Amino acid sequence: MLPLVIIALIVNVFVVAGLAYGISKRREPAIHMKVMTTCFIVDLVNVILVELENWLRTREGASKGAVQAAGESIWNDPLSLLSFHIVVSVISIICYIIAIRTGRRLFRTGEGRSIHRANALVFVVARLASFVTSFMVSWPKICGS
């Protein structure tokens, strides 16, 4: 069986591919909204998967779970790669929520396109940064160091 960290990275690749597909379907709202919402849900499940992986390591003798490690990383070393990854990941989740709210409003009323687009730009940059740094942060776990 693959370690959960590798499964989480594979899911991450599929989510980013799904986001690219969803963005390409932005002129077809029914498809765009379903794909982007699905990507959001899968991303949240992936966060739970990462926490589960860390929880399992904690039970095997590691000292802390992902959320606790994230909080300590930001507090102790705010300029680290892990801290940057955490910040852009949280920004991505916030942007998902904003996108869902503004996208539904745009679909129902036709209003808010500029806010939705501006949020999309921030989201794409943050999500791509999260994607790249997820591999960088996970590499030591994969290599066993």
Give the tens place of pLDDT for each residue, 97-143: 999 999 999 999 999 999 999 999 999 999 999 999 999 988 877 77
Q: How far apart are CA 3 and CA 61, in angstroms?
A: 17
Domain count, the chain: 1
pLDDT tens profile 68-104: 666 666 666 667 888 899 899 999 999 999 999 999 9
Q: What is the pLDDT of residue 5?
A: 82
- Beta-strand runs (E) in 49-136: none
43, 99 contact by CB (below 8 A): no
Sign of CA pseudo-dihedral 79, 85, 88, 90: negative
Cα(36)–Cα(100) distance, integer angstroms: 9
For CA atoms 50, 56, 60, 61, give the dihedral sign.
Answer: positive
Q: What is the mean pLDDT of residues 4-23?
A: 93
Read off the tokens for 121.
């730009």
Q: Picking from 41-45, 47-51, 118-122, 123-127, which range would have the lowest pLDDT averaged per residue?
A: 47-51
H/E stretch holding 12: helix 4-24
Distance CA 117, CA 121 (A): 6
The domain containing residue 85 runs over which residues? 4-142
- What's the DSSP call for residue 25? T
Cα three-residue angle 86-92-97, rounded to 5 degrees: 130
Q: Which parts of the chain are beta strand (E)?
A: none
Q: How far apart are CA 51 and CA 41, in angstroms?
A: 15
